[in-house]
Amino acid sequence: MIPIRDTIPSRTYPVVNNAIIAVNIIVFLIEMMFVSGIDRFIYTYGLVPARYTVPSIAVHFTLFDQLVSFVSFMFLHGGFWHLLGNMWFLYIFGDNVEDHFGHVKYLIFYLLCGWLSGMTHLVVNWTSHIPTIGASGAVAGVMGAYFILYPRARVLTVIPIIIIPYFIEIPAAFFLAVWFLFQFLNAALSDAHAAGIAWWAHIGGFIFGIILLKLMKVLPSFTMPGAMRDVTRRTRTPRLHVVKPTDETDAYDIYGSITITSKEAISGTRKIVDIRRGLQEKFFVVTIPPGVKEGSVLRLKGIGQKRDNDQRGDVYLKIIVQPERYA
């Protein structure tokens, strides 16, 4: 299962979340510059439990080195797919969590989740000489917070069936619960001191994400200037829309709805629409003209269900304009 996006629109652009993704990419490119000495680079900036627990090793590192590693390890990755997987999950779930916390508190939350996940790994692998790297623990913390904040959200997921992609919306609570169970089972069945994926760091990050979500309510809110809030406020809905047809008596025409912002209603927009009916899916591009009003209906001629005479019915999409606070 490959998650594509969630169904909860964030009210503001995730500037911090996007910045974190950008920093991870930049650091990965820097890693590629040290190919010849990558092992030394990873050992220096990755999180190596033995550096903190074995005196004969710890003596070779300064206090600054030890402190830096507790932050730098979460920005390093072992390869392109490792980076892509972490950043993709962060992209999907991070925007809503940042929307909840606000930009500054979200940055604090993310770094704390990463640090605490590293501490979890250190405790479980007390004398390990194997470095752990990656944003997985911090991202797991974000997913833990999302699990509590948006249990009724749904995750648009693609399931490859042979060579045909099948899109399905899965409840976010179920998706994340299965993910957590997978981490726990792998952690329980794996040798804690063996090389490979730091399963306990994932588990620690997820749990601490939930705990920090509760604890950070006591922190003061960091209010952004009005001009900055205007800059980061979202003005568009997602490019891809999944339309669930409503029950109608006509077996050939398809009825559904599509949601846009007030700005898109004024200026017009184009969306990719996925209409599902039973096991059938249809993808097409919809052009929404400028000046469209709430409740207007777009008629898409000839792309509905096939009639007995080989002609097709129509698709009718009702326009829903989000309230101004989302725009």
Q: What's residue 89's pLDDT?
A: 94
| CA-to-CA dists, residue 185 to 192, 203, 210, 313, angstroms | 12, 10, 20, 49
**Residue that is last in its domain, among 187, 209, 229:** 229
pTM value?
Answer: 0.77
Given a cut of 50, is residue 284 above it in pLDDT? yes
CA–CA separation, 86 and 83 (whole Å): 5
Average pLDDT of span 229-235: 65
CA–CA separation, 177 and 182 (whole Å): 9
Instruction: Tell me the pLDDT of the chain averaged across its residues.
Output: 84
Q: Are residues 173 and 302 in the same domain?
A: no
Given a cut of 90, is residue 260 above it in pLDDT? no
Q: Tens digits of per-residue pLDDT, 54-88?
A: 999 989 888 998 999 999 999 999 889 999 999 99
Q: What's residue 98's pLDDT?
A: 93
Whose CA is closest to 171, among 157, 159, 158, 153?
A: 153
Side chain identity, residue 172: A
Q: What is the dihedral of CA 229, 232, 236, 242, to 10 degrees?
A: -110
Q: Tens digits of per-residue pLDDT, 262-273?
A: 888 888 888 888
CA–CA separation, 221 and 101 (whole Å): 8
Q: What's residue 326's pLDDT?
A: 41
Do residues 326 and 236 lie in contact, with contact meaning Cβ atoms separated by under 8 Å?
A: no
- Three-state DSSP state, 108: helix
Host domain of residue 272: 235-326
Q: Are residues 200 and 222 in the same domain?
A: yes
CA–CA separation, 215 and 212 (whole Å): 5
CATH number at residue 292: 2.60.260.20
Distance of CA 199 to the CA centre of its chain: 19
Of 187-191, 242-246, 275-279, the range with the lowest mean pLDDT is 275-279
Q: Are residues 163 and 295 in the same domain?
A: no
Q: What's residue 279's pLDDT?
A: 54
Q: Are residues 159 and 224 in the same domain?
A: yes
How many domains are contained in the chain? 2
* Model confidence band, residue 39 (pLDDT cutoffs 50, 70, 90): confident
The percentage of residues in the chain with a pLDDT greater than 70, rounded to a whole number, is 87
Q: Are residues 283 and 155 in the same domain?
A: no
Given a cut of 80, is residue 161 above it in pLDDT? no
Give strand ranges (E) for the chain: 2-6, 154-161, 164-171, 240-243, 254-260, 269-277, 280-288, 297-300, 315-321
Within 10 Å of residue 215's Cβ, how many Cβ atoms? 12
Given a cut of 90, is residue 96 above it in pLDDT? yes
